A and B are shown apart, each in its own frame.
Chain A
Amino acid sequence: MSAPFLSQAFKENAVDALANVELQRALGHVERGFIQKRQKAVDALPEFDALRHEARAIKDHTLSHLDLYLEAFEGKARQAGAEVHWAETAADAREAVLSICRRVGAKTVTKGKSMISEEIGLNAFLEKSEIKPIETDLGEYIIQLRGEPPSHIIAPAVHVNRDQVEADFRRVHTHLDPKRDLADPVSLLSEARATLRDMFLAADVGITGANFLVAETGSSVIVTNEGNGDLTQILPRVHIVLASIEKVVPTLEDVSTLLRVLARSATGQELSVYTTFSTGRRRPGDEDGPEETHVILLDNGRSEMLANEFREMLRCIRCGACMNHCPIYHAIGGHAYGATYVGPMGAVLAPGLFGLENTANLPNASTFCGRCESVCPVEIPLPKLMRHWREREYERHLKPAAERNGLRIWAFLARRPKLYRLATRIGLKALHPFGRRRGRFSSLPLAGGWTGHRDMPAPAKTSFIDQWKARS
């Protein structure tokens, strides 16, 4: 489980990340690739903006009727032979998975990519219970070998370079010829494919996430490009779907709209390769597919977000566009956030799921440049929501005293124009002589955060307002 408290070391993590040459090289792929691909896909679909508005409206409508749509989903899923479990907390969800695995005597479970699984720390829990979880998404497989959490919600191993993958495969795949040639990425893919193929066929239980749940039909929907999510659910006898409650949408039409914005926003694809609607269990006469299907509906703090100023965050469809366009993410990658969810969406979601006191840096580490909001397919006002966390932090006196005091003094002056004028006059008088000769400072007491990395332009001798008054 990626321990949420790692977020407390955010600043240190960030400094380390900036100094990590391998990571910085890998991050270049995000900054260049994802942005261009998304833009191309958006430009190719004239209706994209209209679809975004509708996607947002679909989610808003669903959220305001969430209880009813969940009940509708549950009814339909049961009718199709699925068992539906409700879980209030991460621990409840873990227990639900474990008891299913225990009942069917599972020794290995294959897993499709699921952020909920990361959120509830399922792998570590299963291992402790002597059940072997095997991640099958190539990116997830790589980070599982490395013992790392994902650093991106759709490209979990985006921080890893090819050479590192090769080294990991050589380290773990000891049954293969140590002299084999793995220089070509294709050979790495083939090796992973062959290794995992045996595991797919041997697994007792397959666990996938869900990108959507469809209330109309009781279906869960996953999107993948590899096909691993499909092999995970059709080969083992038991299929478990892990889904959080906000994943439900009303109809097949609604899910179609969301799918149209999801892939384009995420990878710039028109549609992911495999979009799979799974409804209940194997039908009489079917010769493949799971004999048992379970859907676990996880709350884990979401019902509280429904009630407060963070409801809009529940529209998120986990496309990753916000982090792909985030200058902070480009600079430090995902691991520095120290939380399951990273980038702008993580900065809003993580405090809600893991507690603000553990994650307060996340919503603060933003310039509010707004690029995330401008690309979010469901129009989540991410900067505004981050600001709401800062408000809570301020109200709860969680901010460092120096910062708080500095701001209070500034606000105190700003509210008293005469005093402000006087104080700034004194300040300018004091500072101007030192900065005048070069026009700037290269170090300044109390401003080390600034002058540690860049020069500071010198202030004016006389303020604009005073100059203006003198003229008129």
Chain B
Amino acid sequence: MSQRETVLGKIRRGLASAKTAEARRDAVAQRLGQHPANTVPARGHVGQQARLDLFAKMAGKVSATVERVASASDLPETVAEYLRARNLPSDLRMGADRRLADLPWEKVPQLEVKHGPSDGRDHVGLSHAFGGAAETGTLFLLSGPDNPTTLNFLPDHHVVVVRASDIVGDYETLWNRLREHSGDDVLPRTVNLITGPSRSADIEQTLLLGAHGPRALHILIVEDA
């Protein structure tokens, strides 16, 4: 007998359920098919402006920095300014996301924009988030050529663009949007929920930023139509 059959057999015997096999299968199929929401914290259920404020507040609490940008076309200058203000070299790396690639980077000719995944030698990674959940100031990022996952973790500074309209109250809303986005089948290889920059409290429970991932997380909220 394969290990699979052994383990599943032990589980089935252990359960010795009173319910019929059919009733059990139905219960499971229903739950998976309908994926009902459980209690969702009310704090995110507020109007658009209050939601953005909540997102910024929660992200700020975990040491992310948040900046609002009036229009996407301002992003290149905003990013360049971020680098300048922190005395960072004038280069960054990003994926193939059109929402980033199509920006007027020519406005900041001094900035070198590299493309593709990071090999660990970049100072700044630029990503576009799928969305944000205001309840905890959490960003959702999807893997793929548009936003390679290595950009989220290897550079010291992670700059993430998120559209104001993609900032929702809670995780459930984003899962539903993701289900629509990916079709019904599978999630991208990696979905990163990111809440603040990397940290560790493993030495005497003292919180230190920048353990293995970025030391700084800068979020740019683009006000769109």
- Given A86-B2, A226-B213, A287-B148, verify A185-B42 contact (CB < 8 Å): no
How long is the Cα–Cα vector from A454 to B186 in the complex, in angstroms?
A: 64
How long is the Cα–Cα vector from A92 to B2 in the complex, in angstroms?
A: 12
Q: Which of B61, B190, B201, B203 contacts A276 (CB 8 A)?
A: B190
How long is the Cα–Cα vector from A218 to B188 in the complex, in angstroms?
A: 11
B205 engages A158 (CB within 8 Å): yes
**Contact segment of B6-14, B66-74, B80-88, B101-109:** B6-14
A142 engages B197 (CB within 8 Å): no
Verify if A304 is at the interface (C-beta below 8 Å from B). yes
Q: Which of B6, B13, B39, B137 contacts A47 (CB 8 A)?
A: B39
Number of A-B contacts (CB under 8 A): 275
B28 engages A65 (CB within 8 Å): yes
Q: Which of B137, B138, B189, B204 contacts A185 (CB 8 A)?
A: B204
Chain A positions within 8 Å of B119 at CB level: 201
- Chain A 230-251 interface mask (CB, 8 Å, partner B; 1/0): 1100110000000001000011
Verify if B152 is at the interface (C-beta below 8 Å from A). yes
Closest to B142 in A: A277
Chain A positions within 8 Å of B39 at CB level: 47, 50-51, 54, 257
Closest to B191 in A: A277
Give chain A nearest CB distance to B86 CB in angstroms: 17
B191 engages A79 (CB within 8 Å): no
Within A58-74, which residues are at the interface with B (CB < 8 Å)? 58, 61, 64-72
Verify if B50 is at the interface (C-beta below 8 Å from A). no
A68 engages B24 (CB within 8 Å): yes
Chain A positions within 8 Å of B200 at CB level: 138-139, 189, 225-226
Verify if A38 is at the interface (C-beta below 8 Å from B). no
How long is the Cα–Cα vector from A16 to B98 in the complex, in angstroms?
A: 62
Within A65-90, which residues are at the interface with B (CB < 8 Å)? 65-72, 76, 79-80, 85-88
B143 engages A80 (CB within 8 Å): no
- Given A216-B35, A286-B189, verify A88-B42 contact (CB < 8 Å): no
**Contact segment of A264-272, A341-349, A358-366:** A264-272
B193 engages A227 (CB within 8 Å): no
Within B1-33, which residues are at the interface with A (CB < 8 Å)? 2-4, 6-8, 10-17, 24-25, 27-28, 31-32
A137 engages B202 (CB within 8 Å): yes
Chain A positions within 8 Å of B135 at CB level: 270
A155 engages B38 (CB within 8 Å): no
How long is the Cα–Cα vector from A67 to B7 in the complex, in angstroms?
A: 9
How long is the Cα–Cα vector from A217 to B35 in the complex, in angstroms?
A: 11
Give chain B nearest CB distance to A376 CB in angstroms: 18
Give chain B nearest CB distance to A89 CB in angstroms: 9
Chain A positions within 8 Å of B7 at CB level: 86-88, 245, 297, 299, 303
Within B40-58, which residues are at the interface with A (CB < 8 Å)? 41-43, 58
B153 engages A279 (CB within 8 Å): no
Within A175-190, which residues are at the interface with B (CB < 8 Å)? 185-186, 188-190
Verify if B89 is at the interface (C-beta below 8 Å from A). no
Verify if A205 is at the interface (C-beta below 8 Å from B). no
A257 engages B38 (CB within 8 Å): yes
Chain B positions within 8 Å of A325 at CB level: none
- Chain A 170-207 interface mask (CB, 8 Å, partner B; 1/0): 00000000000000011011101100110011000000
A289 engages B149 (CB within 8 Å): yes
Verify if A211 is at the interface (C-beta below 8 Å from B). no
A253 engages B172 (CB within 8 Å): yes
A186 engages B208 (CB within 8 Å): yes
Verify if A162 is at the interface (C-beta below 8 Å from B). yes
* Interface of chain B, main secondary structure: loop
How long is the Cα–Cα vector from A303 to B36 in the complex, in angstroms?
A: 28
Chain A positions within 8 Å of B31 at CB level: 61, 250-251
Chain A positions within 8 Å of B11 at CB level: 66-67, 70, 245, 299, 303, 306
Chain A positions within 8 Å of B36 at CB level: 251, 253
A188 engages B28 (CB within 8 Å): no
How long is the Cα–Cα vector from A257 to B36 in the complex, in angstroms?
A: 11
Give chain B nearest CB distance to A81 CB in angstroms: 8
Chain B positions within 8 Å of A117 at CB level: none
Chain B interface residue count, Cβ-Cβ cutoff 8 angstroms: 81
Within B161-209, which residues are at the interface with A (CB < 8 Å)? 170-172, 175, 185-206, 208
Within A38-62, which residues are at the interface with B (CB < 8 Å)? 45-47, 50-51, 54, 58, 61
Give chain B nearest CB distance to A195 CB in angstroms: 11
Q: Which of B15, B35, B116, B213 contacts A227 (CB 8 A)?
A: B213
Chain B positions within 8 Å of A139 at CB level: 200, 202
Q: Which of A46, A260, A285, A299 contacts B144 (CB 8 A)?
A: A285
How long is the Cα–Cα vector from A67 to B194 in the complex, in angstroms?
A: 32
Verify if A322 is at the interface (C-beta below 8 Å from B). no
Verify if A130 is at the interface (C-beta below 8 Å from B). no
A188 engages B203 (CB within 8 Å): yes
How long is the Cα–Cα vector from A280 to B189 in the complex, in angstroms?
A: 6
In the A-B complex, list the 7 residue pairs whose CB atoms are closest, starting with the nearest: A227-B213, A307-B14, A226-B211, A303-B10, A139-B202, A306-B14, A251-B35
Using a CB–CB distance below 8 Å, which chain B residues touch chain A?
Answer: 2-4, 6-8, 10-17, 24-25, 27-28, 31-32, 35-39, 41-43, 58, 61-62, 95, 116-117, 119-120, 135-138, 143-145, 148-150, 152-154, 170-172, 175, 185-206, 208, 210-214
Using a CB–CB distance below 8 Å, which chain A residues touch chain B?
Answer: 26, 29-30, 33-34, 45-47, 50-51, 54, 58, 61, 64-72, 76, 79-80, 85-88, 92, 136-139, 142, 155-158, 160-162, 165, 185-186, 188-190, 192-193, 196-197, 200-201, 215-219, 225-228, 230-231, 234-235, 245, 250-254, 256-257, 259-260, 267, 269-283, 285-289, 297, 299, 303-304, 306-307
Q: Could you show 30 A-B contacts with beta carbons less than 8 Å apart?
A: A45-B43, A51-B38, A66-B15, A67-B11, A86-B7, A136-B212, A138-B200, A156-B202, A165-B203, A189-B200, A193-B211, A219-B187, A219-B191, A225-B201, A225-B211, A227-B213, A230-B153, A231-B153, A251-B31, A253-B35, A253-B36, A270-B61, A270-B62, A273-B194, A275-B193, A278-B190, A283-B143, A299-B10, A306-B11, A306-B15
14 further A-B pairs in the complex, CB-CB below 8 A; given A65-B27, A139-B202, A273-B194: A45-B41, A64-B17, A65-B28, A71-B8, A136-B212, A193-B210, A245-B7, A252-B171, A253-B38, A276-B193, A277-B193, A279-B186, A299-B10, A303-B7
